[in-house]
């Protein structure tokens, strides 16, 4: 029997060989694993070295913070950015927080907590204070790091110095702010408009001029604020600049929120990006006031031209009216009052007086219509003129006068004419009746719209009706002579009023809206002189006696003047020019039958007029009493006759009573009373 522990030598050798093979195989695997590990370690080392090299030479400040907040790695760039070496941050986990700007620490803490809790990449821009005390901006980026098993390994990130970019951004922002501030404080109207017409930007002057808020502007198109008559032209200009043409000059009219029309001029150009228009830009100047002044100048020039013609017509017409009214007065003296002939003469006289009123309006356009001014209260003139204009009308007036209304330096007759004309126009604008408001108050010239008045104190008269209004297209023409929309109008009422107010150094303007009534505003300079009463003659006695010399170039005037003088007791003599008047005066003195009164026509075409003749007469006889008479003058002599040596003034046409009164003021005579003067 064999022993169980005994081994067959052959079996044992095979077993050993197999084991040896297994050992060899295991050793080879181990060697291969070792080799692979070495290669991996070398690759990892090389990779780490590459990353370290990148980190060491990176311009960004790279860091790795462990899960407990301890800093595991800080790249050398931290010293270039913060001024502190990496060791400082490795030694203390609070080192980074300590250099964060105090105003940004809460921002950084919130940022860090969010990154750790949400395990999401985070980015924030904040300020740090460097070792040298300099404030710098950094862009802080952090990213959570996890192992393959999901274990949180900390946070890696970088800080990049963005100070230069921030400064550049701040410089750009400040430049934009300065530019915006410049635009917003500019007096010009500046706008930027998208290709489809939406407003992208308007400055403060634009908003204030047109009266829109920023919210309202956002809902507007540029086409909403352009006057209808200017729309086609503006559309062509916009199309021109958006197609690439050069900047275009434009004059147009904007419509304000309250309906005001604002005339502007300026340049429009377009900004392009990639060849496409992105915004058309316009810089405009409000020229409404300038246009108004140009229009005032145009009107003044028109009135001056027409004044030359009107003055000539009025001069000749007044000479004719002098003869007509004179002979009518003489005819009335020779018949009994109340009969048919008397009545016809009265009607003829009324017609001639109406003609005289027309010539007076024509004269207003000429320099011969210069006002004879005096300090006076306007209150009574307003009351009287408005009441007279509304006689027999179904229109009422409501007058409001400031209690302490300043006196004004005016020609009462001319201002009476202005108020009468305007109130009459207002009444005619309300054929169905209504109320006209008339107001007068003290104002400063600086408060007047349009800036056309010098500094100083003024009395402002406002006459407002609730009538049909004036069409917008007619407003620029209403002060033009002979412009009227009335079937029976002369077109001289407002033109006359304009000329009168202008010669009083004032201003008149009209605001009206079709269907909304009309408001006329008048500004008259306040006077510091004491008010004087309006002078008047003695209406009772016109007859007298004495010798009177009349000089006039018109034969009909000479004849009627002599006839009137003879009829009221004077001895009349007539000559045709100043030279004859001087010669006749000297001759009468030598003959011992001197002239007591001389009446000189101011204007003698081609001969010596009254201005030169009175000087010669006063040289001969300093006590000569000379009356100036004229139907037209280009000099302000009628309003300042005493400055030129005259003793009195009488305007043509004149009637018997007016001529008698002018003489009696200079030649008192105790004769027959007015009660004995038939028909006078």
Together in a domain, 194 and 150: no
Q: With H, G, I as helix, E, B as strand and everything else as coil, classify residue 517.
A: coil
C-alpha torsion 561→565→568→570, nearest 10: 170
Q: Name the phi and psi angles at 75, rounded to 5.
A: -75, 155
B/e letters for 438-465, b = 16+ CB within 10 Å, e = fewer, are bbbbebebeebeeeebeeeebbbbebbb
Pairing between β-strand 457-464 and β-strand 434-444 as defined by DSSP bridges: antiparallel
Number of domains making up the chain: 5
Q: Is residue 1 part of a domain?
A: no
Residue that terminates a domain, selected from 253, 286, 319? 286
pLDDT of residue 330: 82
pLDDT of residue 470: 82
Q: For tokens 């105003």, what's the residue?
A: 103
Domain region containing 244: 186-286
Partners of residue 252 on adjacent β-strands: 264
- 551 touches 577 (CB < 8 A): yes
Q: Give the span between the Cα atoms of 97 and 104, in whole angstroms.
A: 10
pLDDT of residue 369: 57
Q: What CATH code is carried by the domain that includes residue 255?
A: 3.30.450.20
pLDDT of residue 512: 86
pLDDT of residue 595: 95
Q: Which two tokens stand for residue 29?
A: 């695997």
Q: Is residue 11 part of a domain?
A: no
Distances (CA, A) of 286 to 206, 251, 283, 453: 10, 10, 10, 19
Return the axis-axis angle of helices 555-567 and 288-333, rounded to nearest 10°.
50
Together in a domain, 494 and 397: yes
Residue that terminates a domain, selected from 335, 365, 395? 365
Helices vs. strands in the chain: H and E counts, helices first: 18, 22
Q: Is residue 136 part of a domain?
A: yes
- 577 alpha carbon, distance to own chain's centre: 54
Q: What CATH code is carried by the domain that includes residue 626?
A: 3.40.50.2300
User: DSSP secondary structure string, 209-237?
Assistant: HHT--HHHHHT-BGGGSB-GGGHHHHHHH
pLDDT averaged per 10 residues, the chain (length 680): 54 80 81 74 56 66 85 88 91 88 89 73 88 92 81 85 88 80 83 90 90 90 91 88 82 91 91 87 89 75 67 75 83 80 82 68 56 81 83 86 89 83 88 90 74 80 90 76 53 76 87 87 85 40 82 90 90 94 94 94 87 94 92 66 90 82 77 37
Q: Is residue 537 part of a domain?
A: no
Together in a domain, 410 and 506: yes
């Amino acid at each position: 029997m064999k022993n169980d522990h005994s081994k067959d030598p052959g079996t044992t050798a095979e077993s050993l060989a197999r084991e040896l093979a297994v050992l060899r195989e295991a050793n080879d695997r181990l060697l291969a694993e070792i080799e692979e590990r070495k290669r991996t370690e070398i690759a990892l080392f090389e990779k780490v070295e590459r990353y370290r090299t990148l980190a060491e030479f990176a311009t960004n400040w790279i860091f790795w913070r462990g899960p407990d907040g301890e800093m595991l790695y800080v790249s050398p760039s931290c010293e270039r950015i913060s001024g502190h070496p990496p060791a400082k941050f490795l030694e203390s986990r609070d080192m980074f927080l300590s250099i964060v700007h105090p105003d940004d620490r809460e921002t950084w803490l919130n940022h860090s907590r969010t990154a750790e809790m949400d395990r999401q990449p985070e980015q924030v821009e904040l300020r740090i204070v460097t070792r040298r005390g300099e404030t710098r901006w950094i862009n802080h980026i952090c990213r959570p790091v996890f192992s393959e098993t999901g274990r949180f390994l900390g946070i890696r990130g970088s800080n990049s110095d963005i100070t230069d970019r921030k400064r550049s951004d701040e410089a750009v922002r400040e430049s934009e702010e300065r530019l915006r501030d410049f635009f917003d404080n500019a007096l010009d109207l500046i706008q930027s408009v998208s290709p489809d017409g939406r407003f992208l930007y308007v400055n403060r002057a634009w908003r204030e001029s047109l009266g829109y808020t920023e919210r309202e502007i956002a809902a507007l198109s540029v086409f909403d604020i352009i006057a209808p008559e200017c729309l086609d032209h503006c559309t062509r200009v916009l199309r021109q600049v958006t197609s690439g043409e050069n900047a275009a000059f434009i004059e147009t009219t904007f419509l304000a929120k309250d309906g005001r029309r604002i005339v502007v001029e300026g340049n429009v150009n377009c900004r392009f990006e990639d060849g496409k228009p992105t915004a058309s830009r316009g810089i405009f100047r409000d020229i409404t006031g300038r246009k108004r002044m140009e229009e005032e100048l145009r009107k003044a020039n028109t009135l001056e031209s027409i004044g030359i013609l009107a003055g000539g017509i009025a001069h000749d017409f007044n000479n004719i009216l002098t003869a007509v009214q004179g002979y009518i007065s003489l005819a009335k003296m020779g018949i009994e009052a109340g009969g048919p002939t008397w009545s016809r003469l009265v009607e003829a006289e009324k017609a001639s007086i109406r003609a005289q009123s027309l010539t007076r309006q024509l004269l207003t356009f000429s320099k011969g219509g210069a006002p004879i001014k005096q300090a006076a209260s306007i209150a009574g003139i307003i009351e009287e003129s408005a009441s007279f204009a509304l006689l027999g009308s179904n229109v009422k007036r409501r007058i409001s006068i400031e209690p302490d209304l300043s006196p004004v330096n005016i020609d009462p007759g001319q201002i009476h004419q202005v108020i009468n004309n305007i109130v009459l126009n207002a009444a005619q604008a309300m054929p169905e009746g209504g109320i006209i408001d008339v107001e007068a108050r003290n104002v400063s010239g600086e408060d007047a719209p349009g800036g056309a008045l010098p500094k100083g104190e003024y009395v402002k008269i406002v006459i407002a009706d609730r009538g049909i209004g004036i069409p917008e297209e007619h407003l620029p023409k209403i002060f033009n002579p002979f412009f009227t929309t009335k079937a029976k109008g002369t077109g001289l009422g407002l033109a006359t009023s304009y000329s009168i107010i202008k010669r009083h150094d004032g201003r008149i303007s009209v605001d009206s809206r079709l269907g909304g009534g009309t408001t006329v505003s008048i500004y008259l300079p306040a006077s510091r002189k004491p008010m004087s009463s309006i002078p008047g003659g003695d209406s009772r006695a016109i007859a007298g006696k004495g010798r009177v010399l009349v000089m006039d170039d018109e034969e009909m005037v000479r004849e009627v003047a002599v006839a009137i003088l003879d009829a009221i007791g004077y001895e009349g003599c007539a000559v045709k020019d100043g030279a004859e008047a001087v010669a006749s005066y000297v001759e009468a003195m030598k003959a011992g039958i001197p002239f007591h009164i001389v009446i000189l026509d101011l204007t003698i075409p081609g001969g010596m007029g009254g201005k030169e003749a009175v000087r010669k007469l006063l040289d001969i006889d300093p006590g000569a009493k000379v009356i100036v008479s004229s139907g037209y003058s280009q000099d302000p002599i009628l309003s300042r006759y005493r400055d030129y040596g005259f003793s009195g003034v009488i305007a043509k046409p004149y009637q018997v009573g007016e001529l008698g009164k002018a003489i009696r003021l200079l030649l008192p005579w105790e004769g027959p009373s007015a009660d004995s003067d038939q028909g006078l």
